[in-house]
Structure 1
Amino acid sequence: MPDKTNESTCFAALLAPFDLTGVVVTADGLHTQRDHAVFLVEEKEAHYALTVKKNRPTLHEHLRTLPWKQATANYYDRTVGHGRKETRVVQALTADELDFPHAAQVARITRHRTSLKTGKRTREAVYVITDLTSRQASPEKIARLARAQ
């Protein structure tokens, strides 16, 4: 019989031996799960910054429809590398009524990319959910966390 374990089901077991007190754990969309957030905050006394992708359609759609035009916390970053120019716009909002354990902030990171070779332009928006408050994590810090992930 095949083993039914994968990266997602091993999350808590892999992190359990480590002292994560005060550490910010970043993870991709696979780990944007309620039980992972509860485990990190309540059991490990850690923080999280989780990417929200379309594999969580209800949460993704909710974040997509937030009032981003009202965001006053913004950060802009421009880089050149990997054969492209990239501009990232990070907007953060307080997660007042978000149904996700310990969520304090959400961020939208809009990436504008231009290929230096072809000139082709693309635009992509990704979302990050975190238990870090705006006092603990500015949009710039959220941008750094998302890039480090």
Structure 2
Amino acid sequence: MGSYFTAHVASSDPSGLVPIALDGKMLRGALRAKATATHLVSVFAYRARLVLGQLAVAEKSNEIPCVRALLTLLPGSLRWLVTVDAMHTQVVTAKLICATLKSHYLMIVKSNQAKILARITALPWAEVPAAATDDSRGHGRVETRTLQIITAARGIGFPYAKQIIRITRERLITATDQRSVEVVYAICSLPFEHARLPRS
């Protein structure tokens, strides 16, 4: 990750906290000798709209070591808000982001962290007012997203967690009147008063 990219990203985020996403993907048409598709993990800076780096996932491995390796390559001169999916909601990764990089995370919580998910879903969400609501229309679909936030208690059982977030997505397919509801939970190490969460 060269100095040009670092300078460009820093200039696009004068707040000092750079939101990035780490995500894996399979390259279409990219086959190895044994006909295995190439699996890459990339670091993408939202506001600068730049891919800052990427690594190939080793055979017989998964994305987790690649994500941690990419995190260690991030310039220490910047502070990051690292967004990852549920696979990477791991204690070691959280400590690397917060303790080593002096940065923050936004992590999705699913069944791979079953105990934490159970604690989160048991919270009194019906009593929590919406922090934000967003409506979007397009491609024959109407979607409403509702964001709720609770300050994390120590008993949540995950390091550096400061906020617990619930996002409810309600979708309507206008042509068929088909409706669906999806609920996603996340944890964030930023205190509420400092948070400017990227759109999910």
The answer to which of 84-93 and 115-124 deviates more is 115-124
- 2:137 aligned partner: 80
Is the 2:130–2:146 Cα contact (8 Å) retained in structure 1?
Answer: no
**In the TM superposition, what is the alpha-carbon distance from 1:73 to its structure 2 partner?**
5.5
Name the residue aligned to 1:36: 93
Which stretch shows the higher mean deviation, 65-74 or 30-39? 65-74
Structure whose CA Rg is larger: 2
Residue 11 of structure 1 corresponds to which residue in structure 2? 67
The normalised TM-score by structure 1 is 0.86
Shift of 1:118: 1.6
* 1:65 alignment partner, one of 98, 122, 125: 122
Matching residue's letter, 2:93:
H
Give the letter aligned to residue 43 of structure 1.
Answer: T
Q: Which fold has the larger relative contact order, with Cα–Cα distance below 8 Å and residues 6 or more apart in sequence?
A: 1
Distance 1:18 1:103 in 2: 22
Match of 2:103 among 30, 46, 64: 46
Specify the SS of the correspondent of 2:182: strand
Q: Which has the higher strand share?
A: 2
Deviation at 1:72, TM superposition (A): 4.0
User: How many residues get paired?
Assistant: 141
| Stretches (4+) displaced over 4 A | none
The residue aligned with 1:109 is 167
For structure 2, which runs of at least 5 residues remain unmatched after alignment? 1-57
CA RMSD in angstroms, aligned pairs only = 1.7
Length-normalised TM-score, structure 2:
0.65
Q: Distance in 1 between matches of 2:150 and 2:192?
A: 8
Q: Distance in 2 between matches of 1:56 and 1:81?
A: 34
Local SS of the residue matching 1:103: coil
5+ residue gaps in structure 1?
Answer: none
Q: What percentage of residue pairs aligned between the two structures are identical?
A: 36
